[in-house]
Structure 1
C-alpha cells in the first residue's frame, strides 16, 4: 500500500476513534441527569411518606387535645352536678341544669369527634405503612440503579481513556498539515471530517460527486475533498482493498 493510502487509512481510523469518543462522552454527559432522575424518584417517595406521617401525627395530636379537653369538661360537669344539691332557689337550679345539659351535649359531640378520629387513624396508619414500604422499595431500587450508573461511568471512562490512547498513537502517523486540515473540517462539520464515497455518492452529505473525481479517488494517490460538503473523501475499496481470493 502506498504512503498516501496509509495516510488515508490513518485518517479513517482517526475519524472512527473520534466518533467513538464523542459517543462515549455523550453517554457520560447523560449520567448526571439520570442520577438526578433516580434521586428525584426517591425524594418523591420520601415526600409522600412524610406527608402521610404528618397526617397520622396531626390526627393523633387532635385526638389527644380533644381527649384532654373532654376530660376537663366532664370533670366540670361532675362538679356542677355536685353543686345542684347545694342550690336553694329554683331559678339558680334551672340555670345550672341548663348549663349542665349544654355541656353534656358538647361533650357528646366531642366524644363522637374522637371516635371518628380513632377510626380514621387506623386507615391513616395503613396508608402510612404502604408509603413506608414504597419508600423502602424505592430506596433499594435507587441503590441498585446508582450502582449500575457508577459501573457504566467507570466503563465509559475506561473506554474513553483507551480511545484517547489510541488517538494519540494515530495522530503521530498523520502529517501535521493534514491533521490541521482534518481538525478544521471536523469543527465545521459536526465532528465528521472524513467520509467514504460509495459509488458516486459522498457518505458525508449524500450528494453525488463528479465522475472524474470518482476516478481520481480510485487511484488513491491524492487527498481530495467533496465539492459539496468539503470533507476529506476517499473510495473505501481503494483504501481498504478486499483480500485476494485464496490460491
Structure 2
C-alpha cells in the first residue's frame, strides 16, 4: 500500500502534468488567431495594392476617354478650318472663326488635363510598384511564418499526446477517491487543485494557514485542504525532503 507521502507526490505529479497540458492546449488554441493575424497582414497589403491598382486603372480610363475626345475635337477643328476658304460672307466666316477659337481653347484645356493625368500616372505607378513589393514581402513572410506556426502546432500536438499518456499513468498511482476529489477541486479552482505550502503560506491562494495546520502538514500523515481556497495542500519539505548530505 502506498504511503501518504507517495500519494501526495502522485497528486503533485498529476497536477504538474495537468498544468503543462493546459499550457500546451493554450498554445494550440492560439494557433487559429495567429494564423488569422498572418493572413490579415497579407490581406492588408493586398488591399493597399488593389486600391492603388484601381487608381491606376481609373487614371488610364480617364486619360483614354480624354484622348479619344480630344482627337475627335481636333479633327472637327481641322474640318472647320478647311471650310473657312469656302465661306462667301464675312458674317459666316466670323461665326465659324469664333467657333474654331472656342474649340481650340477647349482642346487646350483637355490637353492640359491629359498632361496632368499622365504626370499623376507616373506617381501612381511608383506607389503601385512600392505596394507590389510590400505585398510580395508580406506573402513571402507569411509563408515562412505559417510554416513555423505549423511546425510549432505539430510539436505541441506531439507534446499533448505525450502528456496524455503520462497523465494516464500518473492517474493510476492516485487512489480513485482522492482522484475524484482532485478532479472536482480542479474544475472549481481554475485547473489548480493541489498547492504546496511554503512556510505557512498556501501557494494556491497566497494566504497564510493556521499554525496548527502547518504542523499537521509537516507530519504528512493526512490529506488536508486549505481553509481559504479549499485546495489540497501539502508541505513541500515533508513530501520532497532535501537529499541527505554525503559530506
TM bucket normalised to smaller: over 0.9
Could you tell me how far apart the structure 2 residues matched to 1:205 and 1:94 are? 102
Q: Specify the alignment match of 2:215 in structure 1.
A: 215
Shift of 1:29: 1.2
Shift of 1:236: 0.9
Alignment of 1:28-47 (within 5 A): 28-47=28-47
Count of matched residue pairs = 247
- Structure 2: runs of 5+ lacking an equivalent: none
| RMSD (Å) for aligned C-alpha atoms | 1.3
Secondary structure of the residue aligned to 1:244 is coil
Could you tell me how far apart the structure 2 residues matched to 1:97 and 1:149 are? 75
Secondary structure of the residue aligned to 1:204 is coil
Deviations 1:114-140 (A, max 9, x none): 111111111111111111011101111
Shift of 1:151: 1.2
Secondary structure of the residue aligned to 1:87 is coil
TM-score, normalised to structure 2's length? 0.97
Residue 81 (structure 2) pairs with residue 71 (structure 1): no
Q: Specify the alignment match of 2:140 in structure 1.
A: 140
TM-score, normalised to structure 1's length? 0.97
Q: Specify the alignment match of 1:123 in structure 2.
A: 123
Where in structure 1 do 4 or more consecutive aligned residues deviate above 6 Å?
none
- Structure 1: runs of 5+ lacking an equivalent: none
Shift of 1:26: 1.1
Could you tell me how far apart the structure 2 residues matched to 1:110 and 1:32 are? 54
Could you tell me how far apart the structure 1 residues matched to 2:104 and 2:206 are? 91
Q: Specify the alignment match of 2:91 in structure 1.
A: 91
Deviations 1:139-177 (A, max 9, x none): 111111111111111111111111111000011111111
Q: Specify the alignment match of 2:19 in structure 1.
A: 19
